[in-house]
Chains A and B, each alone.
Chain A
């Protein structure tokens, strides 16, 4: 062996350990960090930053769920569950039974306080304003978009919390030991609404007026936000007078009644700016001849044909941004997955709210005047002649999805009046007097307590994606969530006009929305209850229910904590103050009595799923979510909520 060879090898080994300075060795260049100057010199990277700010907008209900957000939201909540509250639906998942077993909501429910997001928005506005390497047009639009997102988020906070600290510059602690300069008190509730309205007015001219621009802020989006915010402020001012206990001395919560008219006026003006076309050519979606299909398609059609949606949270298959709404809620018998299905079951309470085509209210007929069951030849017959939005929102028994009919029935009704059923569709049984095993309950339920099948007798249709593979956990769905749409703008305008006493204008707007749903007889003599009802059926499962009930101060009356009897359920449909505390179901049975003319026909029975043991009670303390101790103790200038 060559000695020199070995010696040089040895020397080499020593050198490899010492060829680089320590500091050079330890400075590992980052691969995923973009320096601030670089980020704001390239419009593609600015959009990348802005994209995150878009993603962090908070909706009350959202298809992809509610992520963890301290200090309020401690656990992720799946998208479907955010829709399953307020007794408009029943949650068919054992782990979510608490929704119908609790007797009300905790005071910190719905609270948000994400000033981390506000800080990032403020940083963005500050940095973009200071950027020198961006084209002026890009810069103006970017800043306007961030201001829109900030205003919309303040709107979201004021809806839940009342007046919050209004912070429009990034705050940073300098380790000086002094924090009083960082302690911002709560603004008045009206001041936050004023901020939202003012920002909308400021930025609307800086945003594009393109009707095809749905995922980024547009002039119409700013105006739709303004119209809704002003409407909320107006109604809180007006109806808040009925609940003086829900207000603070400093008006951090509560808006003086005298401000109502001003807000209604602004709401109507902003809505009419969209309606008159100055923000782009928006209109109601009237594309498909079948009106229920047409209504469902509003939420599925993202093409330029859809000129109704104004601002959406968009998703895209194979991009990483998808949601599991269809996975969670697809009918069990049509599921792409073994066990992911059927969680969100609309309630009978909601189904009955859809009026008949003659503008009258009536329950679904299960018994005739004599108290005898009504036999239907086809299950769908029971729902015929109603508002087209019913079948557009709810998958009714025997309705079609992905080319298949849902199989919802609770068993056989025998001639002696007894029920013959089993605990699962795959548990076959022989009918009395026969010896061949057959299926005796629907594959989609209802069986009491059997999760992932409908337990109310209905499935959700709104947002349910008919694309192949939309129910697979791997692919999921890219149906968009519509945050603002033209029909709501019309209803905002109708309500504002109604409150301003301009009945004719109001009826003009509301009847457009109703006509699209097949209610072609115009309403006359518009009432407050009609407005409440119209928003419920048009906008259900779109995140409006809670806030509408709050601003009208109806929440503590509708969710009064009392149990509901069947006669409660069937009476007073259409009344704004009708009790709605427990989600009922409507179960159908196939009549078995060979030789009887009714043999093989269907009957229906109202039924309260056995998991429903609670009854919703909305307390005054629920009107504005509690401000937690860690917030209060970190900033002594923050005043508590009323009833906290």
Chain B
């Protein structure tokens, strides 16, 4: 451990160095800014398309300077230039950019050619970037212009719905600060690389959306270059950098209003509640104690105890139109020697559950790069954030749960305050779900903060003497600090005594709950790179060598105490009862080599290899070697093809590509945050701190034998094949890409079952790398842009399908053929849900009496009309485990099918965008509050009003009236065959395969005329209104559920429908 100290010193040295770099940079910045205050020459001009229609809003810039203008409503621009020999750049969306040399002119008219710049676009790939035309792997990307308009939440992942083919999306929880789950081709949690440094998902999600230049997704062997932990694909994020010659100040701000998309509806008056309760009790027990006379009193609703209270309204209307807002200001530009991008963002998000449920985040990003000597470039990127969550500290693990639960748990008979006096919390017997209690004054305060700062230093040196050879070094230090403070108060609840007009304390909690968690994350990345890039005639060659070391340190401590008073925010030893401590270090090393070769931009070949080593494995199994290769053929560059096509540009470009790569993975397949094997499993000895024993009155921290050392586990291997094509048609107006992929993983953990050892040896033989699985599918993306009169438009869409399969397990053993049918994993789809099939509902007691199959496990004694009829698959006259069949795609999984669709229109100064996304091929289970009536003796979900019931609920002999759901029982739990039979709760009656298409962003913008703005020295001002999640077309509406919700009780915090208003301002 001693040897680490010098490394630290170097690190401090580095910081001092970079501080100097930074200060010098600032100076240069200042100097370069002044230098532009020079004599002026005025240029005027017009910009039009090929047909002569003038173009509005074309950006005109003086090359290598910050000067620029935009064309006005007549396609005209006015610009002051330092000299009349500069080059002007014309840039317009949907058109090919043009450079025009002024050559002494002071007026000019320019015609822009329509077309898509997709092929010229530079895409960030592993350790570098390439033009799209030369890419041979499956890489998709989005840029700031695609994601900037999404204001659907506070995290980056929420912006990606439907944007990238192959990226699956599900946002099950929509609370402030929540993120969506995204995966690449459903291969598992991807790796996130931000500005060349591996990061965790939280760092990705909590970037400021404004600072992102582009997000590339590496879906196949092209990810192999990131090696360790890249087997599930890589999300590569590049933040914005400054451009030379342009000093710009941008301000972006929006204000939004959130309301829940959907949430279960419940009864809101006590008469209904008692009536349906009586109905349910008669169905369940044959009798009820609720009388018609009592019901009349509830109907009147005037007497104490018979009034109604609407909890849903009380909870959800408490903070209607919950606000969110975001303000970003950034400064960007640069001179000959340096460029800069400096940005600050502040985000605030509130919740419908109440204005005390909040999320706040402030981000800074500073990217500076400088040419400090001939051939030497250095850069410093600093980013930081403070991310805070604050809400009432309430009992239970999830502080957002009880407020939602309050909607269903509380009945209309119950009231929040005793005698409706807001000074006295009512004792309703389950105070924890009394919404009146869930606030910072009564229940407590929860707050968590992440404070993160990261500095990336890089230097790039063109090695003299060898053309095209550069050396590059990167050092990154990441420090994150987390503090959670939770204080849950003691409280009293009251019962009002009308007889004495007093409020008696009749309940509450005298349990103060005070916890604090502190975490510190340190991560260090060191990279040394050699790059070579040269052209020999028609041969283009590039080569990269990288050495990389990554160290992650996780430290955590947790204390819990029971303070003697709610008014003491500090924690002292005598009231402590828990102190936990953790300090773990992870280390990995990678060596990477890669060669790119292309002949005449026609044939492309890329080959790479990695040697990875992980601290997790036994030294003998530490190292893995992982090669990959890909090739591309631009068939449209062949002369015979050019001859064939002639001038007819129907097919502008066509490239076929294929890749194959092997990647290593040292993470668990079901949870990428966990290692595949416990750290130090290869060592013998005792694990300390396995609990506490009290011996002779003393607390002894106990140790347990680690078990037989696990020395046989190493890397699992992920072998990805991808075949695809990129094409553009009609002069580049229609572009697209199509892919087929197949990933096979080998070396998944399993037991080598050809030797079965007796259980009595006391341990299980350790797993080995013996099983395999596969993930495969297709995806396609198309984009068309064009212009119709003065209306520019573009239409795009993507569709992807993916499925996973278990391939084989080692020597599977089955007791019998049923066991094999039911439990085999061999060559089967993963995530299958098994359950009964429901063929209908009983329509009369007579039908039940004559029914020969034992449908409820009790000889059909418990059945009444409306109850579910299960299919007796094997015809043995009873429903049991042998009647289960595959009925679902997997609960809680990502959609197997994802698609996105977008339209953009612009007309003069107006622009319009609409983005849609959808998913299908996943399963939701309707359970608990969504399956049976009065769960937990709570309120009735309104879906159960459409049920089988008697014409007169109080008359057991009245006629049955059909409905959708079986007849309600009062809080039956799993006790009835409708809901669960022989331990099996799944049936295709309750499991639903979800499909949805939802409007994500619909935006309408207006750019103010430049002529107006120039007077106030503003270059650009655009205002917009934007709606997120405006509507959804899906099959979950009938349950009042958001289609992406995962919790089977339906009580999850759903996504919000958001209306945003914002502006983009450029000086």
Contact = CB atoms under 8 A, between A and B. Distances in A.
Interface of A: 1, 3, 5-7, 9-10, 12-20, 22-36, 39, 45, 47-49, 51-52, 54-55, 71, 94-95, 97, 101, 113, 115-120, 122-123, 165, 167, 170-173, 175, 177, 179, 182-184, 213, 215-216, 302, 314-322, 333, 335-339, 424-429, 436-439, 443, 449-450, 469, 471-475, 478, 610, 629-631, 633-635
B613 A26 contact: yes
A33 B687 contact: yes
B202 to A, nearest CB: 23
15 contacts: A17-B547, A39-B685, A48-B702, A49-B702, A49-B703, A52-B691, A52-B693, A115-B759, A173-B761, A317-B577, A320-B577, A320-B692, A322-B577, A426-B495, A635-B758
A472 B511 contact: yes
B473 A10 contact: yes
A13 B688 CA distance: 38
A474 B513 contact: yes
Contacts of B765: 173
Given A16-B475, A45-B703, A51-B702, A179 B755 contact: yes
A276 B289 CA distance: 62
A230 B49 CA distance: 103
Given A22-B589, A48-B703, A31 B499 contact: no
Contacts of B760: 115, 118, 165, 167, 171, 182, 184, 635
B694 A319 contact: yes
B700 interface: yes
Interface stretch (B101-109, B116-124, B421-429, B841-849): B421-429
A13 B471 CA distance: 11
Interface string B596-635: 0000000000000000011100010010000000000000
Contact of B614 (A6, A26, A424, A474): A26
A29 B14 contact: no
The 10 closest A-B pairs by CB, nearest first: A119-B762, A51-B693, A472-B511, A319-B699, A13-B473, A52-B702, A51-B702, A635-B758, A314-B694, A17-B526
B705 A6 contact: no
B824 interface: no
A436 B703 CA distance: 63
B432 interface: yes
B688 A9 contact: no
B17 interface: yes
A35 B684 CA distance: 7
Interface stretch (B181-189, B501-509, B1025-1033): B501-509
Given A49-B702, A474-B577, A1 B14 contact: no
Contacts of B697: 215, 302, 314, 316
A355 to B, nearest CB: 37
A631 B692 contact: no
Nearest to B684: A36
B683 interface: yes
Contacts of B562: 469, 472, 474-475
A428 B429 contact: no
Interface stretch (B247-255, B258-266, B370-378): B370-378
Contacts of A320: 577-578, 691-692, 699
Interface of B: 1, 3, 6-7, 10-11, 13-14, 17, 21, 24, 285, 304-305, 372-373, 376, 378, 395, 413, 426-432, 457, 459, 461, 471, 473-475, 493, 495-499, 506-513, 526-528, 547-549, 560-562, 576-578, 583-589, 613-615, 619, 622, 679-680, 683-697, 699-706, 708, 755-763, 765, 815, 936-937, 971, 973, 975
Contacts of B378: 6, 9-10
Contacts of B705: 49, 120, 123
Contact of B708 (A71, A172, A213, A216): A172
Contact of B757 (A6, A113, A167, A182): A182
A54 B578 CA distance: 21
A322 B562 CA distance: 14
Contacts of A95: 973
Given A17-B549, A36-B684, 7 more contacts: A12-B10, A26-B614, A170-B762, A425-B429, A474-B512, A610-B285, A634-B759
A172 B708 CA distance: 9
B589 A426 contact: no
A48 B700 contact: yes
B498 A436 contact: yes
A581 to B, nearest CB: 18
A12 B474 CA distance: 11
A469 to B, nearest CB: 7
A54 B687 contact: no
Nearest to B706: A33
Contact of B973 (A94, A315, A428, A469): A94
B615 A171 contact: no
A209 to B, nearest CB: 15
Contacts of A52: 690-691, 693, 702-704
B427 A426 contact: yes
A373 B559 CA distance: 57
A196 to B, nearest CB: 18
Contacts of B971: 94, 449
A302 B697 CA distance: 9
A427 B273 CA distance: 15
A36 B686 contact: yes
A307 B373 CA distance: 86
A195 B687 CA distance: 31
A472 B513 CA distance: 9
B761 A336 contact: no
A170 B760 CA distance: 10
A338 B622 contact: no
A12 B613 contact: no
Given A28-B585, A426-B495, A319 B549 contact: no
Contact of B577 (A5, A23, A30, A318): A318
Contacts of A165: 758, 760
Contacts of B528: 13-14, 17-18
Contacts of B376: 3, 6-7, 10
A571 B973 CA distance: 35
Given A55-B693, A473-B511, A34 B432 contact: no
B703 A475 contact: no
Contact of B763 (A116, A175, A333, A427): A116
Nearest to B493: A338
Contact of A475 (B426, B457, B499, B577): B577
Nearest to A214: B696
Contact of B508 (A49, A118, A338): A338
B572 to A, nearest CB: 12
A487 B513 CA distance: 40
B585 A429 contact: no
A321 B691 contact: yes
A316 B686 CA distance: 24
Contact of B457 (A13, A116, A319): A13
Nearest to A171: B761
Contact of B688 (A32, A443, A472, A633): A32
Contacts of A7: 373, 376
A424 B509 contact: no
Nearest to B374: A3
B188 to A, nearest CB: 24
Contacts of B14: 9, 12-13
Contacts of A29: 1
A394 B385 CA distance: 58
A571 to B, nearest CB: 29
B506, B510, B613, B702, most chain A CB atoms within 10 A? B702
Interface centre among A1, A339, A473 (most CB of B within 10 A): A1
A101 B975 CA distance: 9
A119 B587 contact: no
Given A16-B475, A17-B526, A338-B395, A179 B686 contact: no
Contact of B305 (A48, A119, A319, A428): A428
A26 B756 CA distance: 34
